[in-house]
A and B are shown apart, each in its own frame.
Chain A
Amino acid sequence: MKNRLRVLRAEREWSQADLAERLEVSRQSVNAIETGKYDPSLPLAFKLARVFETTIEAIFSDEK
């Protein structure tokens, strides 16, 4: 799924590892989500939204 993870990370100067630590997941997970190869579960999506202090819709887009 398309997402703005990379942009949001860059705004805060977080590496994938930094984000992974905040989310309590592995760096590979963050990479897989960021590259759109893996869609996070609802709980993880909410965690992402909280970490970036925004909404899920602001991060992810399900448009083709």
Chain B
Amino acid sequence: MECTTKDSADRRYSYRVLVAMTLYLVFLVPDVWIFRHYHPAAGLTWLLAILPALPIIGVLAATGLYLAEVKDEFRRAIMVQSMLWSIGATLAVTTVWGFLESFAQVRHIEWIWVFPVFCFFVPISSALVRWKYR
């Protein structure tokens, strides 16, 4: 995305993602602390576990809203294509890792890492897609 952007959809997206990521940290840090020092009751465990997942869902919702709101259809196409390539890369990488986990004693990849891995690939694929259209 260009640095000078007049499209309000871009600004709204950045703002929403920033808020979500802040909430994520706000929820996650006390969560981990509570689990380390206390043994919450069963029902509370669920709630505390889901809490940090909510901002992540917020980021996905913000992305969905961006795709719906952005007026520049070319930008939308780039975002869509980069997301598709990203999920492909994520699937391939986690599959390789899954096999290595069982047989090469690499660190267990927890499911919460799927989203960060996906996010890692998005800027890379986005750059590649834009380069293709240069």
Interface of A toward B, CB cutoff 8 Å: 24-29, 31-33, 37-38, 40-41, 44
13 further A-B contacts with Cβ under 8 Å, apart from A26-B2, A32-B74, A40-B73, are A25-B73, A26-B5, A26-B7, A26-B72, A26-B74, A28-B2, A28-B74, A28-B133, A29-B73, A32-B133, A37-B133, A38-B77, A44-B73
* Closest residue of A by beta carbon distance from B74: A29
Q: Is B12 part of the binding interface, using a Cβ–Cβ cutoff of 8 Å? A: no
Contacts of B74 in A (CB 8 A): 25-26, 28-29, 32-33, 38
Contacts of A28 in B (CB 8 A): 2, 74-75, 130, 133
Q: Is B71 part of the binding interface, using a Cβ–Cβ cutoff of 8 Å? A: yes
Bound state CA distance, A31 and B133, in angstroms?
A: 9
Contacts of B71 in A (CB 8 A): 24-25
Contacts of B133 in A (CB 8 A): 28, 31-32, 37-38
> What sequence of 0s and 1s flags, for each residue 1-44 of chain B, a beta carbon within 8 Å of any chain A beta carbon?
01001010000000000000000000000000000000000000
Min CB distance A63 to B, Å, is 22
Bound state CA distance, A13 and B7, in angstroms?
A: 25
Bound state CA distance, A63 and B9, in angstroms?
A: 36
Min CB distance B80 to A, Å, is 13
Min CB distance A37 to B, Å, is 5
* Closest residue of A by beta carbon distance from B134: A31
Closest 7 CB pairs of A and B: A29-B74, A25-B72, A32-B133, A37-B133, A26-B72, A41-B73, A32-B74
Is the CB–CB distance between A26 and B75 below 8 Å? yes
Contacts of B130 in A (CB 8 A): 28
